[in-house]
Amino acid sequence: MAALPTAVKIVEVGPRDGLQNEKEFVPTAVKIELIDRLSKAGFPNVEAASFVSPKWVPQMADGAEVMAGIARREGAIYSVLTPNMRGLEGALAARADEIVIFGAASEAFSQRNINCSIAESIERFVPVAEAAKAAGVRIRGSVSCSFGCPYQGEVPVASVVDVVQRFAALGCDEIDIADTIGVGTAKRVHEVFEAVTKVFPRERLSGHFHDTYGQALANIYAALEEGIAIFHASVAGLGGCPYAKGATGNVATEDVLYLMNGLGIHTGVDLDQVVEAGDFISKAIGRANASRAGKALLAKKQSAAECA
Ligand code: HMG
Ligand code: MG
């Protein structure tokens, strides 16, 4: 078996993917404090906001204020979602380091999430990608429903490969293979990554796993075995997609860091500080912390404090 990567990049998506589905508006100051805590913890990349229609995702309406308020750590990349030119303009004005164009490997999900077909979405992304390149901003493409779709069910591997190729042609620096509803299992992860690495460089592919069926850590391990070295995770396991009913949050960042630390894989991120950030945001939005490692480490710390 091939050796696992010795270092991985963890992209913290909690401030965007984690919070976008919250019904109650999370105050801008809370979003900013969360991002600042994550920056201090050492993440090389934080997905900070979306410049999407506030009618579609009201929670992300304050993206400009969030981006203006955060204390950026030098060298870190702050990414934002941009579905169209209007979003791109907002992203450039906000000095985003990376824009995320997001499509799907499933026609039904594309319609529900961005109100157009896959082909139309690619056409819409052409000027967005051109303008981002002209402005010297990185471009990431996210392929939703790469392991299954809440509306269509099965998604052929060939559909994932097709969208990856289209994103590659747009000049994406990085492409996310996303399990939007967390249905993938390790065997499928091997199959999908074996196929997409034939059309796009392995080192610029990422795994974006939601943990709905409890498979995310196993899927990450399978992706590591495929040589994938970029993973998305959400602090305290926050999240769910507003256009994927029943989908729960991304894999919890604390759990991923615990796994990487155990494997001796370098992340550059301080687990203790992420645990504190997870506790902060869970309390701020009144949600139970969904990270197993986060809860265990908080309990350990509390009992150590009681014994002292
Ligand atoms: P539409 O209704 O077809 O487009 O939506 P429209 O051009 O008719 O715009 C509708 C209204 O939104 C208009 O306002 C526009 O001005 C406004 P009105 O005239 O009615 O007052 N609008 C905007 N406002 C601010 N910023 C913008 C913008 N664009 C239009 N950029 C559209 C099409 C793509 C805009 C819409 O469907 C949309 O915003 N969708 C975003 C959905 C979304 O954010 N989903 C969650 C993120 S994706 C995700 O979570 C998956 C991921 O995590 C990977 C995975 O897990 O799978 C990435
Ligand atoms: Mg997602």
Q: Which ligand is nearest to the CA of 146?
A: 1
- The structure's pTM equals 0.97
Domains of the chain, earliest start first: 9-307 (3.20.20.70)
The closest of 15, 16, 7, 37 to 273, measured between CA atoms, is 37
Substitution candidate for ligand 1 out of 20, 45, 52 with most atoms within 8 A of CB: 52
Mean pLDDT of 205-232: 98
- Looking at residue 130, the DSSP 8-state letter turns out to be H
Query: Are 148 and 155 a contacting pair, CB within 8 Å?
Result: yes
How much distance in Å is there from the Cα of 285 to the middle of ligand 1? 24
How much distance in Å is there from the Cα of 239 to the middle of ligand 2? 8
Backbone φ and ψ for 135, nearest 5 degrees, come out as: -90, 0
The per-residue pLDDT for 281 is: 98
| Catalytic residue chosen out of the listed positions 145, 149, 172, 241 | 241
Q: What is the pLDDT of residues 121-171, one digit of tens each?
A: 999 999 999 999 999 999 999 999 999 999 999 999 999 999 999 999 999
Which residues line the pocket of ligand 1, CB cutoff 6 A? Answer: 17, 20, 50-57, 81, 83-84, 86-87, 102, 113-115, 142, 144, 178, 180, 208, 210, 241-243
Q: How far is residue 95's CA from residue 104's CA, in Å, rounded to a whole number?
A: 26
Helix axes 253-263, 216-225, angle to 10 degrees: 40
Q: What is the pLDDT of residues 15-56, one digit of tens each?
A: 999 999 999 999 999 999 999 999 999 999 999 999 999 999
Active site residue 241: yes
Residue keyed to tokens 């060939």: 158
Protein residue with its CA nearest to atom 24 in ligand 1: 53
